[in-house]
């Protein structure tokens, strides 16, 4: 039985439009698998499909976590099994504090029906500690989810949730977008930390700038919903140096494809 | 109040408009005034509705119904005068003024009222004032006169019961120099009742008010909560939670008007709209010319959870001086979109769990639920 996340020959339609056309990849524990590609190549579709978002229809293929198919599971059950996705632009949720959300999500993972009760005061202390490690103030935990947050606060709040909920696989959709150099460094440190803790990381990014600070184990480039190239960190360097247009041309030459 | 004054108000009812200007070109009036207009001819209520348990357990000191009932406990800590039939040390409506039809209607019609005076330099503890409704019209007037440097907590309970009735409630508050007062307001209106409610508070020099309110309206609830920061270095923190239950309509206004130098105001409201509910949540932060070096913030966020619900969040900021320390406004109306549902499901929560969390969170936002130990279930009366 496989360990980690396996995506097998995935074909996905979104609102009737074919977006992914046979994507296969693995995310092993303790590794960072970077997904790169130009706009519209299917990066976010891959992430949403793994999480089971409505409207992302799997036409063919499978998604497995630790060898078991999760295709038939609703999003919340996939999350409880150990998948976590940090969104690129998470929505505002007025009325729900970050701490409330975290406690509810932790209680669900502990099998409790009472979503608001703090089962262990240590959880609150840990929340404070992790927030500070991410460069957030304690006060942010009492703020409503993403309400009035700056771009950087949104990103860090997503990362905080990833740390607290302790998932097996963390999917990050462009965690560096909208961040300054210091912000990118901080996120990169966080990824290194998650990797050291044995998490499998699927890192979706448009640019290679993060890789100055954190090296991916595998880099996959998607072009028009297909894997154009897959390899080690040198692929990211190639993207940075030559751009996606070059990779696209090279891919078309190698396959004789007309996409 | 003299009979002549009352007669003048009667004339005003005919002459004055419900409001002078339309609210927006598209939404002409956030309050459906026709609901009030249709009920303005109903007679006085002769029986009064029993308060819900959530209010009774607060330990009511002063109960306004068809008459005013004042407990000995209240009289031992503050001076309380029944102004229903007599004159008051302060003329009713003298702070609010009478410039609209509903203000004139209240000024002419209100039938039960109290004047409460907290002595200067003393802690008056906690005073609970409740206003109920009846099978017909009921009008209540409350004047709170907080002496200089007085301290204490006031709980205002406003209930309207299961009847196609009309209620008007006007609360006028003077917070004396250096006074420090917490005001908790709990508003629960049955979906058959129409209620016109105003709370108007004037803060003198260095007065500090922490206002918390939890409101759920009725057939049409118009609730305007206005704070005039008249005094130098006066301070206001006002938070509100508003719940538009299925089939109810509320137009809620929370205003902070700065007239005193170095005054500091923060007004913030959260609302949730359930199926076929309606909530307009408006707020005005205004810094007048004479209120230099003041700070004012206004926030309004509304979440629409149910089908066919309508919600508006309208914060306004008016600055009439160049010398301002801070002036911010922020607002959002969040319709429960698939992206919200996906977001919370991706954290492991089902849609219904997320909605419950959101409703509970908005109920708890103002702090009233915690301060008065209110369970969300207490609000869903119909």
Radius of gyration of chain B (CA): 20
In this complex, do A92 and B272 lie within 8 Å of one another by their Cβ atoms? no
pLDDT at res. A247? 86
Report CA-CA distances (Å) from B61 to B75, B80, B211. 9, 10, 20
Q: Does B348 touch chain A (CB under 8 A)?
A: yes
Does the residue A127 lie in any domain?
Answer: no
In this complex, do B301 and A97 lie within 8 Å of one another by their Cβ atoms? no
In chain B, which residues have their Cβ closer than 8 Å to the Cβ of A144? 301, 361
Mean pLDDT of B37-50: 96
pLDDT at res. B241? 97
Q: For all residues of chain A together, what is the average pLDDT? A: 91
In degrees rounded to 5, what are phi and psi of residue B45?
-80, 140
pLDDT at res. A148? 84
User: In chain A, which residue's Cα lies nearest the Cα of B328?
Assistant: A148
Picking from B270, B344, B354, the nearest residue to A94 by CB comes out as: B270
Task: Identify any residues that bridge with A219 across adjacent strands, giving them in sequence order.
Answer: A34, A231
Q: Does A112 touch chain B (CB under 8 A)?
A: no
What confidence category does residue B1 fall into, taking pLDDT thresholds of 50, 70 and 90? low
Q: Which residue has the higher pLDDT, B130 or A253?
A: B130
Domain count, chain A: 1
Q: Is the pLDDT of residue B179 over 70?
A: yes
**Chain centroid to CA A189:** 16
Tokens read off for B335: 């319709």
Scanning B268-327 for CB atoms below 8 A from A yields: 270, 272, 301-303
Does the residue A209 lie in any domain?
Answer: yes
pLDDT at res. A181? 86
In chain B, which residues have their Cβ closer than 8 Å to the Cβ of A115? 349, 353, 356-357
Mean pLDDT of B61-69: 97
pLDDT at res. B250? 98
Question: Residue B29: exposed, middle, or buried by beta-carbon count in 10 A (0-12, 13-18, 19+)?
Answer: middle
* Cα separation, A249 vs B57, whole angstroms: 75
What confidence category does residue A1 fall into, taking pLDDT thresholds of 50, 70 and 90? low
In chain A, which residues have their Cβ closer than 8 Å to the Cβ of B362? 94-95
ipTM > 0.90, yes or no: yes
Tokens read off for A13: 């339609």
Q: pLDDT digits over A56-98, tens only? A: 999 999 999 999 999 999 999 999 999 999 999 999 888 899 9
Q: For all residues of chain B together, what is the average pLDDT? A: 95
Q: Does A87 touch chain B (CB under 8 A)?
A: yes
Report CA-CA distances (Å) from B325 to B207, B266, B287, B295. 19, 13, 11, 5
Q: Does A143 touch chain B (CB under 8 A)?
A: no
CB hemisphere CA count around B278 (13 angstroms): 16
Domain count, chain B: 1
**Chain centroid to CA A249:** 28
- Nearest-neighbour CA in chain B from A221: distance (Å): 25
In chain B, which residues have their Cβ closer than 8 Å to the Cβ of A76? 345-350
Does the residue A61 lie in any domain?
Answer: yes
In this complex, do A91 and B359 lie within 8 Å of one another by their Cβ atoms? no
Q: Does B359 touch chain A (CB under 8 A)?
A: yes
What's the longest Cα–Cα distance across chain A? 61
Task: Please give the sequence-ordered ranges of beta strands (E in DSSP) within chain B, or none if there are none.
Answer: 62-64, 68-70, 79-82, 112-118, 123-131, 137-146, 151-160, 166-175, 180-189, 194-203, 208-216, 220-229, 235-244, 249-258, 264-273, 278-287, 294-304, 310-319, 324-335
pLDDT at res. A258? 56
* Cα separation, B185 vs B301, whole angstroms: 19
pLDDT at res. B2? 63
Q: pLDDT digits over A39-54, tens only? A: 999 999 999 999 999 9
Q: Does A161 touch chain B (CB under 8 A)?
A: yes
Range of the domain at B344: 3-379
Q: Is the pLDDT of residue B4 over 80?
A: no
Q: Does A117 touch chain B (CB under 8 A)?
A: no
What confidence category does residue B87 fall into, taking pLDDT thresholds of 50, 70 and 90? confident
Tell me which DSSP letter residue B134 carries.
Answer: B
Q: Which residue has the higher pLDDT, B334 or B198?
A: B198
Mean pLDDT of A205-218: 89
Strand order in the sheet with B294-304: B68-70, B62-64, B123-131, B151-160, B180-189, B208-216, B235-244, B264-273, B294-304, B324-335
* Cα separation, B118 vs B61, whole angstroms: 14
Range of the domain at A183: 5-89+169-255
Q: To probe the interface with A, which of B305, B337, B349, B350 has the most A CB atoms within 10 Å?
A: B349
Does the residue A82 lie in any domain?
Answer: yes
Tell me which DSSP letter residue A138 carries.
Answer: G
Do A83 and A76 form a contact (C-beta atoms < 8 A)? no
Question: Residue A180: exposed, middle, or buried by beta-carbon count in 10 A (0-12, 13-18, 19+)?
Answer: exposed
Closest CA to A103 of A145, A149, A48, A153: A145
**Chain centroid to CA A97:** 22
Closest CA to B268 of B366, B136, B158: B366
Q: Is the pLDDT of residue A146 over 80?
A: yes
Q: Is the pLDDT of residue A194 over 80?
A: yes
pLDDT at res. A176? 85
Q: Does B44 touch chain A (CB under 8 A)?
A: no
Q: Is the pLDDT of residue B138 over 90?
A: yes
- 3-state DSSP call for residue B101? helix
pLDDT at res. A257? 63
DSSP string of B137-178? EEEEEEEEEEPTT-EEEEEEEEEE-SSS-EEEEEEEEEE-TT
pLDDT at res. B91? 92
Query: Dihedral of CA B370/B372/B377/B382: which sign?
Result: negative
In this complex, do B357 and A101 lie within 8 Å of one another by their Cβ atoms? yes
- 3-state DSSP call for residue B206? coil
Provide the Cα torsion A38, A40, A44, A49; round to 10°: -140
Does the residue A212 lie in any domain?
Answer: yes
In chain A, which residues have their Cβ closer than 8 Å to the Cβ of B361? 94-97, 100, 144
pLDDT at res. A187? 86
Picking from A95, A148, A165, the nearest residue to B358 by CB comes out as: A95
In this complex, do A92 and B339 lie within 8 Å of one another by their Cβ atoms? no
In this complex, do A54 and B350 lie within 8 Å of one another by their Cβ atoms? no
In this complex, do B358 and A96 lie within 8 Å of one another by their Cβ atoms? yes
Residue contacts between A and B (CB atoms, under 8 Å): 96
Picking from A76, A94, A100, the nearest residue to B345 by CB comes out as: A76
Mean pLDDT of B38-56: 96
Scanning A200-239 for CB atoms below 8 A from B yields: none
Do B148 and B175 form a contact (C-beta atoms < 8 A)? no
In chain A, which residues have their Cβ closer than 8 Å to the Cβ of B347? 76, 79, 101, 104-105, 161, 165
Picking from B303, B332, B361, the nearest residue to A100 by CB comes out as: B361
Q: Is the pLDDT of residue A145 over 80?
A: yes
Q: Which residue has the higher pLDDT, A227 or A125?
A: A227
* B103 Cβ contact partners less than 8 Å away, ≥ 6 residues apart: B16, B93, B96, B97, B170, B198
In this complex, do A93 and B358 lie within 8 Å of one another by their Cβ atoms? yes
Q: Return the CATH number at A186.
A: 3.40.50.300
DSSP string of B31-85? S-HHHHHHHTTPPBPSSBPPPPHHHHTT--SEEESSSEEE-HHHHHHSEEEE-SS
* Cα separation, B142 vs B156, whole angstroms: 10
In this complex, do A148 and B330 lie within 8 Å of one another by their Cβ atoms? yes
Do B351 and B298 form a contact (C-beta atoms < 8 A)? no
- Nearest-neighbour CA in chain A from B282: distance (Å): 16
Run of H or E residues at A153: helix A151-165
Q: Does A116 touch chain B (CB under 8 A)?
A: yes
Q: pLDDT digits over B190-232, tens only? A: 999 999 999 999 999 999 999 999 999 999 999 999 999 999 9
Closest CA to B313 of B327, B328, B297, B334: B334
In this complex, do B348 and A76 lie within 8 Å of one another by their Cβ atoms? yes
- 3-state DSSP call for residue B88? coil
* Cα separation, B227 vs B260, whole angstroms: 12
Task: Identify any residues that bridge with A18 across adjacent strands, giving them in sequence order.
Answer: A13
Query: Dihedral of CA A147/A149/A153/A155: which sign?
Result: positive
What's the longest Cα–Cα distance across chain B? 67
For chain B, first and last CA: distance in Å?
38
Tokens read off for B229: 């920061």
* A90 Cβ contact partners less than 8 Å away, ≥ 6 residues apart: A145, A146, A154, A157, A158, B343
């Amino acid at each position: 039985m496989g360990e980690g996340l396996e995506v097998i020959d995935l074909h996905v339609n979104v609102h009737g439009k074919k977006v992914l056309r046979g994507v296969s990849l693995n995310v092993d524990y303790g590794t960072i698998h970077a997904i790169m590609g130009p706009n519209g190549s299917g990066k976010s579709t891959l992430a949403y499909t793994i999480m089971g978002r409505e409207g992302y229809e799997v036409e063919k293929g499978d998604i497995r976590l630790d060898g078991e198919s999760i295709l038939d599971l609703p999003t919340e059950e996939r999350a409880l099994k150990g998948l976590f996705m940090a969104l690129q632009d998470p929505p505002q949720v007025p009325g729900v504090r970050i701490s409330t959300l975290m406690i509810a999500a932790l209680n669900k993972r502990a099998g409790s029906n009472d979503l608001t009760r703090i089962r262990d005061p240590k959880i609150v202390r840990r929340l404070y500690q992790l927030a500070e490690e991410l460069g957030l103030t304690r006060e942010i935990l009492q703020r409503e989810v993403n309400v009035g947050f700056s771009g950087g606060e949104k990103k860090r709040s997503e990362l905080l949730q990833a740390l607290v909920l302790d998932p097996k696989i963390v999917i990050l959709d462009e965690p560096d977008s909208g961040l300054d150099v210091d912000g990118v460094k901080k996120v990169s440190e966080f990824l290194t930390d998650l990797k050291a803790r044995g998490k499998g990381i699927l890192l979706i990014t448009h640019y290679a700038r993060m890789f100055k600070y954190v090296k991916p184990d595998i880099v996959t480039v998607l072009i028009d919903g297909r894997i154009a190239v897959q390899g080690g960190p040198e692929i990211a360097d190639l993207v940075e140096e030559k751009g996606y247009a070059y990779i696209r041309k090279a891919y078309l030459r190698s396959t004789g494809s007309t996409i | 109040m003299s009979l002549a004054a009352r007669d003048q108000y009667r004339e005003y009812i005919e002459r004055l408009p419900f409001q002078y200007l339309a609210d927006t070109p598209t939404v002409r009036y956030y309050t459906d005034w026709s609901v009030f207009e249709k009920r303005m001819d109903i007679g006085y209520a002769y029986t009064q509705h029993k308060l819900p348990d959530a209010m009774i357990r607060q330990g009511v000191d002063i109960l306004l119904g068809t008459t005013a009932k004042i407990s000995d406990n209240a009289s031992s800590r503050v001076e309380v005068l029944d102004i229903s039939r007599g004159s008051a040390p302060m003329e009713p409506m003298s702070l609010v003024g009478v410039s609209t039809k509903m203000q004139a209607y209240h000024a002419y019609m209100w039938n039960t009222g109290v004047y409460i005076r907290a002595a200067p330099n003393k802690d008056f503890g906690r005073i609970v004032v409740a206003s109920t409704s009846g099978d017909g019209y009921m009008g209540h007037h409350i004047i709170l006169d907080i002496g200089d440097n007085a301290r204490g907590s006031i709980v205002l309970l406003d209930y309207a019961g299961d009847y196609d009735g009309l209620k008007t409630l006007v609360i006028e508050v003077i917070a004396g120099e250096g006074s420090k007062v917490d005001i908790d307001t709990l508003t629960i209106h049955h979906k058959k009742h129409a209620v016109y409610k105003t709370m108007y508070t004037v803060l003198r020099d260095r007065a500090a008010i922490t206002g918390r309110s939890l409101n759920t309206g009725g057939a049409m609830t118009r609730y305007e909560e206005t704070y005039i920061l008249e005094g130098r270095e006066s301070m206001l923190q006002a938070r509100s939670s508003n719940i538009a239950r299925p089939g109810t309509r509320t137009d809620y206004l929370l205003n902070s008007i700065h007239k005193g130098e170095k005054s500091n105001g923060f007004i913030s409201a959260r609302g949730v709209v359930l199926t076929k509910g309606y909530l307009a949540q408006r707020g005005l932060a205004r810094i007048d010319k004479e209120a230099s070096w003041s700070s004012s913030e206004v926030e309004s966020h509304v979440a629409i959870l149910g089908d066919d619900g309508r919600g508006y969040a309208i914060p306004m900021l008016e600055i009439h001086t160049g010398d301002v320390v801070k002036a911010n406004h922020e607002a959002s109306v969040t319709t429960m979109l698939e992206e919200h549902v996906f977001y919370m499901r991706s954290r492991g929560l089902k849609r219904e769990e997320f909605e419950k969390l959101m409703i509970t969170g908005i109920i708890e936002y103002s702090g009233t639920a915690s301060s008065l130990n209110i369970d969300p279930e207490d609000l869903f009366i119909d």
